[in-house]
């Protein structure tokens, strides 16, 4: 007959084994067991300008944006409140699909924003324009330096995607 100590030990091992099997099943199902999970070779585009209030760049149709970086430096004696990132369809004249206004620390003369999108942003079937502007109050104002970088997965990386566009 098993001793109580041995029984507790065997039950603990059984529970731990079941937990391990469930954890493995969960990890496999979340990490690549789906035909819709697609990795890509990313492309990066960047635009920098000195003494400007806006910089922009174009991301091609059917791409998926994964990262956005923006930084600014204010002009001496002309403080800025922050920056505005805006992504519009139809080459910059259509609907807004992403917009983010961010503030700048008033104690320093520079500011920045970065994001990594957990779910890549599908831009649609037409090119989009990504615009970064510096502002004070409600007015677009000159900065001594603006820089914008967008990292995206190009459409060609998804041409064989069984999940269809945008997924």
Query: What are the pLDDT tens digits along the chain (167 aa)?
Result: 557 666 777 777 778 778 778 777 766 666 554 545 556 888 999 999 999 999 999 999 999 999 999 999 999 888 899 999 999 998 888 899 999 999 988 788 899 999 998 889 999 999 999 999 999 999 999 999 999 999 999 987 665 554 555 44
Q: What are residue 88's phi and psi, to 5 degrees?
A: -125, 145
What's CA 133's distance to the chain center, in Å?
Answer: 18
Task: Say what the pTM is.
Answer: 0.72
Positive/negative CA dihedral, 154, 157, 160, 165? negative
């Amino acid at each position: 007959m098993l001793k109580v100590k041995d029984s507790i030990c065997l039950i603990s091992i059984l529970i731990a084994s079941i937990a391990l099997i469930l954890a493995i099943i969960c990890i496999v199902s979340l990490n690549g067991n789906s035909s819709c999970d697609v990795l890509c070779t990313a492309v990066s585009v960047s635009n920098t300008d000195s003494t400007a209030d806006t910089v922009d760049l174009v991301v091609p149709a059917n791409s998926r944006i994964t990262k956005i970086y923006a930084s600014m430096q204010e002009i001496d004696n002309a403080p800025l409140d922050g920056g505005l990132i805006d992504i519009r369809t139809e080459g910059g004249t259509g609907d807004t699909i992403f917009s983010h206004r961010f503030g700048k620390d008033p104690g320093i003369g520079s500011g920045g924003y970065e994001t990594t999108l957990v779910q890549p942003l599908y831009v649609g079937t037409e090119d989009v324009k990504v615009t970064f502007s510096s502002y004070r109050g409600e007015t677009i104002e000159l900065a001594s330096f603006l820089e914008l970088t967008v990292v995206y997965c190009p459409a060609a990386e998804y041409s064989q995607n069984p999940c269809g566009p945008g997924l």
